[in-house]
Amino acid sequence: MSNDEIFAAAYREHYWAVSRYVARRLDGRTSEVEEVVAEVFTVAWRRRTDLPATPLPWLYGVARNCLANAVRGYGRRRRLVDRMGNDDAAHGRHIVDSPDAETPGAWVHEALARLSPADQEVLRLTAWEELGVEELAVALGCGTRAASMRLHRARRRLRAEIDRTCPATESKERSHG
């Protein structure tokens, strides 16, 4: 199979997995998701001779880098809009959730949000993308032992955050309920 055919097969097989990966991290900003996914596969096309036999973890690693670039760009645009005074807050429009708007499992997302971005990514790669330790290592660009240790530490820190914010009885009810 030629490199072009290998790329085409990887694209067909993994486009939606990469799209879901990016969408979960950009929280539904659809136009940005499409741009980042396009960039991921542009990089993959340029580096098609480097595609491994199991390309998905490698594509996740490329997506991580493309997301970092997109987030930096989004921050620059946001600061520009803020300086221009052209946002909803500047015009007195505020959207406020109702007090009972807590979504199921929100406490897990809150605990996750208090972790470092690196810990969040390790946990998301294993939970959302269902990567094993070897695949996690490829996506993170590190060795298997380092990936395993990062995962172990991230899980420990998440558990500590959950325990810190939830009384023991409430934590047990959530895990059994």
Q: What is the pLDDT of residues 118-164, one digit of tens each?
A: 999 999 898 888 889 999 999 999 999 999 999 999 999 998 988 88
pLDDT score of 42: 93
pLDDT score of 168: 53
Predicted confidence band at 83 (pLDDT cuts at 50, 70, 90)?
low
pLDDT score of 141: 92
Q: What value does the mean pLDDT take over residues 8-30?
A: 88
pLDDT score of 90: 47
What secondary structure, in 3-state letters, does the chain show?
CCHHHHHHHHHHHHHHHHHHHHHHHHCCCHHHHHHHHHHHHHHHHHCHHHCCCCHHHHHHHHHHHHHHHHHHHHHHHHHHHHHHCCCCHHHCCCCCCCCCCCCCCHHHHHHHHCCCHHHHHHHHHHHCCCCCHHHHHHHHCCCHHHHHHHHHHHHHHHHHHHHHHCCHHHHHHHHHC
- Residue 104, SS3 per DSSP: coil
pLDDT score of 129: 86
- Residue 98, SS3 per DSSP: coil
Q: For all residues of the chain together, what is the average pLDDT?
A: 81
How far apart CA 139 and CA 133 sit, in angstroms, is 10
